[in-house]
A = this chain, B = another copy of it.
Amino acid sequence: MTRYSRQTRMLVAIDCIIFGFDGQDLKLLVIKRGFEPEKGKWSLMGGFVQPDEGFEEAASRILKVLTGLEGVYMEQLFAFGNPDRDPMERTISVAYFALIDINAYRQQLSEEYRAEWISLSKLPRLIFDHAEMVAQAQARLRYKAAIHPILFELLPQKFTIPQLQILYEAVYDTVFDKRNFSRKVLSTGLLVKQKDKERASSKRGAFYYKLDKRKYSAKFHAFLNFVADPGKLN
């Protein structure tokens, strides 16, 4: 058994773009990098792919270490391979983006990494090509959320329609008509009205809704057109 000689081997990293929603703004989970190069600078959470590890596996491991969470929504975003993206040594990075319920996040587990939720509008400079990764992830989020019901992954199990609308408005940085918005989301048949109300943010209170899990799984990949043409906004 010969091996592929004369070919260059490279480091393979995973970087995670982790989105959260605090009820007002879209946020990103970033850390202060703990090792050289760029030690102490803001960075995405990442790590190297291990010898017997696939990409999904590696991404899940990294996400778990940082957030303590498993089974969260995650998808491969893009593989970044610019030869000089890491000044130290040729390193390619497979970026994953994840959507998590910010309330389920356990801060204590990640003290070690000095992780922080930062609003997308107030991001500091990030190392390497991480800003590009974030921009691309945000574009993908907008693209995908226009067609598929993925934003529910950012909300707790019980949520109100006004909360959902604030989320959509944060993602697209625009405002939607209340009446048309609720009609649209209700018409998907994905929501189940609860009997209790959320009472913190208004006098009248807004009814909670939950996802109909069966229909959600079934329609997750269907084309639902939540937003007509996200490219035309802004």
Contacts and interface: CB of A to CB of B under 8 A. Distances in A.
B76 A54 contact: no
Interface string A223-234: 100001111100
A157 to B, nearest CB: 26
Contacts of A55: 79, 81, 92
A200 interface: no
Contacts of A48: 4, 7-8
Interface in A84-112: 88-92, 94
Interface in A203-234: 221-223, 228-232
Nearest to A10: B12
Contacts of A92: 12, 49, 55, 94
Interface in A32-59: 36, 48-55, 58
Given A4-B88, A10-B9, A51 B222 contact: no
A10 B49 contact: yes
A82 interface: yes
Nearest to A146: B223
Given A10-B10, A89-B3, A51 B83 contact: yes
Contacts of A4: 11, 48, 88-89, 91
A2 interface: yes
A41 B161 CA distance: 55
A193 to B, nearest CB: 26
A199 to B, nearest CB: 38
5 A-B pairs with the lowest CB-CB distances in the bound complex, closest first: A9-B9, A55-B81, A79-B79, A223-B229, A7-B48
Interface of A: 1-4, 7-12, 36, 48-55, 58, 76, 78-79, 81-83, 88-92, 94, 146-147, 221-223, 228-232
